[in-house]
Chains A and B, each alone.
Chain A
Amino acid sequence: MMEEEKINQIVELVLRQLQEEGLVPGGLKNQPGQPTFPQETITTGAATVFHPGAALSTHAEIEIDLPDPAGDNLRWLPRVKNAKDPGALIELMASTSARIGVGRAGPRSNTASLLLFQADHAITQDALYRDVDQRLLDEFNLMTVQTSITEGREEYLLRPDLGRQLSDAARQMITEKCQKNPDLQLVVGDGLSALAIESNLRQIFPVIVQGAQSAGLRMGTPFYVKYCRVGVMNDIGDILQPKVLILLIGERPGLGRAESMSAYMAYQPGAGQNDANRDVVCNIFEKGGTNPLEAGAFIVQFAQKMMQFQASGVKLKLAAG
């Protein structure tokens, strides 16, 4: 088949590039000329594929043992065939995280680029529908309360209104266990990405706590909200009456990037408020986003500014100029 031949060429090209760059130590296990496209495969191990069809024709076993195409080394390989300026292509690609220099097969994308896209979509899907690791919450002594979502993630996605309201049990628990009228109330919410909380909380949490201490701010009792939407800040504000409420929440995942977290902040939040009353620091993640350590320090500073002007959101913008 013609497609087979093309794919073989691409695989060979990529692997040759890798060998030259020393990224594949053992080199190619299947030699050029052998069929590499299994018609029937039996998985005999995590990464080893046995191909009986090949054995029939060449009396040789095929072993495919691939390096991770989503890793930094392979992800950014230039894939444009016969580029006018191959060196410049690498520079162009380095200037953006967008998927350029990807090459084509006719008008479609080539196989490596297509599969990388699908791989990134897959990992994002897997990150989306799960809860924040309980061990992490225990580590920071975060008690868990829940919004009015009772039927799981599906309902959470469909009913943003319920995700903005605390459940009765949550109201009671917060009333009983949390300090009232703090300067700073820190709340953690899953939002649309558990991974975002897991990736950033260990860095950002201590910075906020220590920053608040050294600024002489009284911290309330932090807790975790499951099935959390940003609007739940109003309910929490009504119960605890903090000066400033900070909500750390997982953002909607991008393709292959589910670790991005936002910090929403509001001065004296309460019923009826909306995004115009809030400020947000978004894209908090390591490597390419707002670094969580820096974000933590910024958040404490910003909270002090809110207290100074007794305002947040559009009002703060107008007051502080």
Chain B
Amino acid sequence: MLLRTKLHGKTYEFPDVRLLMGKANEEKSGDRLAGVAAESAAERIAARLVLAELPLWVLRQNPAVPYEQDEVTRVIQDAVDETVYAEIKDWTIGEFREWLLADTTTHEMIQRVSAGLTAEMVAAVTKLMSNLDLVLAASKIHVTAHCHNTMGAPGRLSSRLQPNHPTDSPEGIRAEIYEGLAYGCGDSVIGINPSDDSYSSVSRLLEMTYDLIKEWEVPTQNCVLAHVTTQMKCLQSGSPVGLVFQSISGSQKGCESFGINVGMLDEAYELAKKHCFPSGPNFMYFETGQGSALSADAHNGWDQLTLEARNYGLARRYHPFQVNTVVGFIGPEYLYDANQIQRAGLEDLFMGKLSGIPMGVDACYTNHARADQNANENLAVLLTAAGCNYFMAVPMGDDSMLSYQSTSYHDTASLRQLFRLRPAAEFEHWLESIGLMKDGRLTELAGDPTFFLKR
């Protein structure tokens, strides 16, 4: 294999697909940490010049981890629609980019081609996209899913109400839910990250949120984002579960570092279909994020963008209701500053949608990254323009349990207003029926958590 180009009079040669893929990325601290980043700005573009000429079949034949060694690779490769693949395998990555952006290429055409792609192809074309390319291409793709309500339809923007509490106090969490609902948040899910992963604590929070959903007839579902094994125990013992959650990683070794494997997820999915209380058919919720495989030394020498694309390839197996990257949570050693977080957020949304995933984004940052709330708001605007299914809704964007900053209750309301978007249809009707929303706008009553104290 020869991978070489001249650029501005200098010759650049890349030894293999792995390094070509790494060096073609926009600058990221994590790729530097992994030793796969371009060593100069010119080398980065040289890598893209070569990548643009690479046919898709080369990427099919060069997965980030070999088929024999890795069950995530097997999941992705075995799911490829061979008919579609045969039609597109000779496209170059450069041609693929132009096809995605062409005005003649519709949402339906992209969804069909999606079935013939592997994660490495998805990652490769992303590397050739500018930020606005990513926004435009992503905005064409609408992936809907249904659990108790429908998410991802055009003209809709949903949010996960994230009422976390440092000690999982049901009273405190309930108060946060009241305020979130009062801002029109929670149509994707009421999803709590527990600080205590035990069965008793998790089942108690499931009961509390279920009771609240029933009392107010909220058209949404609940989820407690404990380890999947804890949630499986809850399902088996009859706790009311809306969505089943797990963090996933783009390689078998990465998944093992999360204490999961494909067999376990298969089992969780079967239990979810059998026991979750909403109608479905989509019951699963996954979180991802660039750098997670690298942080577990499970990246097999590949770049974090490619490993992230493999998350979506794995998630697709379970027809999830929602998947979101937690883009800035990982820290500055993987995404250094607001620029890198922004780029990764746009990449992840696009890759998820291209992979056929109903995709949301946790636009977020930690306090040791060079980012702030202004940068986070910028990213949320870009992601909304790109057709993000949902954001997190955290009180004032400050998660009092996980110690990071995300998007706020106010941000959900503001982004809807700004882009003339509405909540999921069932949820919008509900908000109207109780008087918190009228014609897509919050009413005077909105923003007051005491609204929900008495039905």
Contact = CB atoms under 8 A, between A and B. Distances in A.
Interface of A: 80, 82-86, 88-89, 92-93, 95-104, 106-109, 113, 117-118, 120-121, 124-125, 128, 157-161, 192, 251-255, 257, 260, 283, 288
A314 to B, nearest CB: 10
Given A117-B373, A117-B396, A118-B373, 13 more contacts: A80-B449, A88-B450, A96-B165, A98-B164, A98-B395, A99-B395, A102-B395, A104-B413, A107-B413, A108-B410, A128-B367, A128-B368, A252-B367
A158 B333 contact: yes
A158 B414 CA distance: 34
Contact of A84 (B29, B174, B453): B453
A227 B396 CA distance: 32
B261 interface: no
Given A107-B414, A253-B403, A100 B449 contact: yes
19 contacts: A80-B450, A82-B444, A92-B175, A97-B165, A97-B400, A98-B172, A101-B179, A103-B447, A104-B410, A107-B414, A107-B416, A107-B417, A113-B396, A121-B372, A157-B368, A158-B333, A159-B333, A255-B367, A288-B166
B447 A254 contact: no
Q: Which 5 A-B pairs have the closest CB atoms?
A: A96-B172, A254-B403, A99-B396, A107-B413, A92-B175
Given A95-B171, A255-B367, A82 B178 contact: no
B169 interface: yes
Contacts of B171: 95-96
Interface residues of B, number: 52
Given A89-B449, A255-B403, A117 B397 contact: yes
B408 interface: yes
Contacts of A97: 165-166, 172, 400
A267 B451 CA distance: 52
Chain B interface helix/strand/loop/mixed: mixed
Contacts of B176: 96, 98, 100
Contacts of B366: 252
B109 to A, nearest CB: 36
A292 B288 CA distance: 34
A36 B15 CA distance: 66
Nearest to B171: A95
A101 B173 CA distance: 13
Interface string B246-273: 0000000000000000000000000000
A288 B169 CA distance: 13
A270 to B, nearest CB: 17
Contacts of B449: 80, 89, 92, 100-101
Interface string B391-420: 000111111100111001010011011000
A144 to B, nearest CB: 22
A156 to B, nearest CB: 9
Nearest to A157: B332
A107 B399 CA distance: 20
Given A118-B373, A253-B368, A288-B166, A98 B450 contact: no
B261 to A, nearest CB: 16
A251 B367 CA distance: 11
B442 interface: yes
A158 B332 contact: yes
B390 interface: no
Contacts of A82: 444, 448
Interface in B154-181: 163-166, 169, 171-176, 178-179
A106 B332 CA distance: 34
B166 A93 contact: no
Interface string B52-69: 000000000000000000
B132 interface: no
B367 A254 contact: yes
Nearest to A314: B259
A157 B367 contact: no
B447 A104 contact: yes
Given A89-B450, A102-B396, A161 B33 contact: yes
Contacts of B446: 104
A109 B410 contact: yes
B321 interface: no
B432 to A, nearest CB: 17
Contacts of A99: 395-396, 398, 400
Contacts of B450: 80, 83-86, 88-89, 92
B373 A254 contact: no
Given A80-B447, A158-B29, A158-B33, A96 B173 contact: yes
B208 to A, nearest CB: 13
A125 B367 CA distance: 7
Nearest to A103: B447
A254 to B, nearest CB: 3
B448 A192 contact: no
A96 B373 contact: no
Residue among B366, B373, B400, B453 having the largest count of chain A Cβ atoms under 10 Å: B400
B107 interface: no
Contact of B172 (A95, A103, A158): A95
A84 B448 contact: yes
Contacts of B96: none
Interface string B409-449: 01001101100000000000000000000000010111111
B429 to A, nearest CB: 20
Given A88-B453, A157-B333, A107 B442 contact: yes
B336 interface: yes
Given A95-B175, A254-B367, A100 B395 contact: yes
Interface string B170-214: 011111101100010000000000000000000000000000000
Contacts of A101: 179, 449
A158 B340 CA distance: 13
Residue among A92, A102, A128, A251 having the largest count of chain B Cβ atoms under 10 Å: A92
Contacts of B394: 98
Nearest to A253: B367
A85 B453 CA distance: 9
Contact of A252 (B29, B368, B395, B396): B368
A281 to B, nearest CB: 13
A229 to B, nearest CB: 10
Contacts of A253: 367-368, 403
